Amino acid sequence: MMKGLEKVELLPEPEDSRILSAIDPSAVGFQDGWRAEVTGWAPHDATPVPRLSRRRFVATNGAIFAILAIILLLFWNSGILFIELSPPKSDWANEQSQFDDFSELGLTGNGVNVCMVDTGLDVSNPAFTGLQVTFKDMIGNSNSPIDYGFIAHGTLMAGILVSGSHQQGIAPGVNLAMVAALGADENDMNSGSEQTVADAILWCHNEFQADIISLSLGGEQNIEMMTEGVSVSAVRRAVDSGIFVVAAAGNDGGGEDDGLVSVPGNVARVITVGASTQEQIVWENSSIGSQILSNGSMRQNPHMKPEVVAPGENIISTGIGDSWYSSSGTSDSTVFVTGALSLILEAFPEYKPTSSSNGDCIDAVKISLMNSSLKYDDSITHDDHWGYGQLKAYDWYQDLALQTPNC
C-alpha cells in the first residue's frame, strides 16, 4: 500500500465495486445515512472494505501455503495423487485404412488361422488378457510365450492385430500362432538365421495349418545367387499351396535404397507391403521395388513389388507389461494388411487354402487388392514406391464381394 494511505478506510463505488475510494476514518460509524447519500449508496449504508495489514496478510497466506504443502506431500507419498496420463493412440491408421467401416459387419477375423514369425510374444500386457495363442519356440525351449527381442518386436506386431484394450487390435478374433525365430544380437538388433526363419514358415504351413503367414521381417536380396534361399523356398511352397503370405518390403528407402524389396517379399504371390504416413505419403524409409526379375523378365500384375502401402509411421501398440510403444516401419504396415486379409477371409472363407489349393485364390484376392487400393496418381497402375496404392480395406472387401470365386 502507498505510504500515507495506511489509515484511511476504503469504500467501494456503487456502480463498480472494484473501484475503491479513500474515506476519512473519522466518518466511519458516524452520520452513516449522510455518508451513504454523499457516496451514492443511499438508501443503503456505505460499508467500508475490511482489510488486513500487509504483514498479517503475508503471514496468513504463508501459513496456508505451508499447510497445503504438507497435505500435498502426504498425498504424494501415499500415491493417491499419482496421475498416469493415458498413452497416445494411432486411431488415424485404422480410420485411414477403413477398418472402422468393418464394425457394422461384425467381422473380427474369427476362424482365420494367422501365423506370425517374429521375436516371440510377451503376454504380460493387460491388452492380451484372455488371449489364446499357439506358441512355438525356435530360439530356446520355452513352452509358454516369451519375447526374445532386444525391443519386443513380436509383442508390438501382435498388439496391432489382437490387442483387447486401449489401442484395439484390427482383427482380435483370429486364431493366432507366434513362432519365435528372431532374437536380440550383439549389435542390439533383432535378427535370426535364414534357416530358422524357413523352419518357422514350414511349421506355420505344416503344423499350424495357417491361412495367413505374417512376416514382419526380411533380408537383403542377392540377385547374383544361382539358387534361391531356404526362406524363399519355404514361402514359395506356402503360396503355391494357397496359403497367403504377407511380408514387409523393407526399411532401406531413401538415398541408400538398393532398389529391391526384402526377401522373401520378392516371391511373386507374396503380398509385399510398404509403409505410408498419416499424411498419406510413402514413409521415407520404405523400400522401393524393382519389376525386373533376375532372369531379365518383367513382373506382371497383380504381382508387381511392392503391392501396397499401409500405415507404418508412429504406430502405437503393446509393449512389455502395462506399456505402450510407438514404432515405425514396414513391419507395422505388414500387420495392417494381415488384419485386413483376416477380415476378408472370414467374410469369404471360399478363398481360404484347402488341401487342393494351388495359389489361384491368392491371385484372385490380389487382383481385388490391386483394383481397390487408393492410387496416388490415377494415370499410373503401379509405382515402384507406392505399389498399386494405399490400403483401403473396406474397398478391398467390397471389390471381392462383386467377384465370383473361380479358384
pLDDT of residue 71 exceeding 70, the answer is: no
> For a pLDDT cut of 90, what percent of the chain falls above it?
66
pLDDT 10s digits, 311-358: 999 999 999 999 999 999 999 999 999 999 999 999 999 999 999 999
Q: What is the DSSP letter of 308?
A: E
Quick one: pLDDT band at residue 65, thresholds 50, 70, 90? low
Average pLDDT over residues 51-55: 49
CB atoms under 10 Å from CB of 392, counted, come to: 21
Burial group, residue 45, by CB count within 10 angstroms (0-12, 13-18, 19+): exposed
Give dist(CA 310, CA 315) in Å, integer. Answer: 11
Give dist(CA 236, CA 239) in Å, integer. Answer: 5
pLDDT 10s digits, 116-152: 999 999 999 999 999 999 999 999 999 999 999 988 9
pLDDT 10s digits, 354-387: 999 999 999 999 999 999 999 988 889 999 999 9
pLDDT of residue 257 exceeding 90, the answer is: no
pLDDT of residue 3 exceeding 80, the answer is: no
Contacts of 341 (CB under 8 A, 6+ apart): 212, 244, 246, 271, 365
Q: What CATH homologous superfamily does 92-401 map to?
A: Peptidase S8/S53 domain (3.40.50.200)
Average pLDDT over residues 240-248: 98
Q: What does the pLDDT read at residue 398?
A: 97
Question: What pTM value is reported for the model?
Answer: 0.79
Average pLDDT over residues 219-247: 87
pLDDT of residue 183 exceeding 60, the answer is: yes
Average pLDDT over residues 7-28: 60
**Average pLDDT along the chain:** 85
Quick check: 54 and 1 in contact, CB under 8 A? yes
Q: Provide the residue type at 366 as one letter.
A: K
Quick one: pLDDT band at residue 21, thresholds 50, 70, 90? low
Q: What does the pLDDT read at residue 228?
A: 81
> For a pLDDT cut of 70, what percent of the chain falls above it?
77
Secondary structure (3-state) at 245? strand
Give dist(CA 246, CA 231) in Å, integer. Answer: 14
Give dist(CA 245, CA 359) in Å, integer. Answer: 11
- The grid coordinates listed for 77 are 507419498
The three-point CA angle 278-123-336 to 5° equals 25
pLDDT of residue 39 exceeding 70, the answer is: no
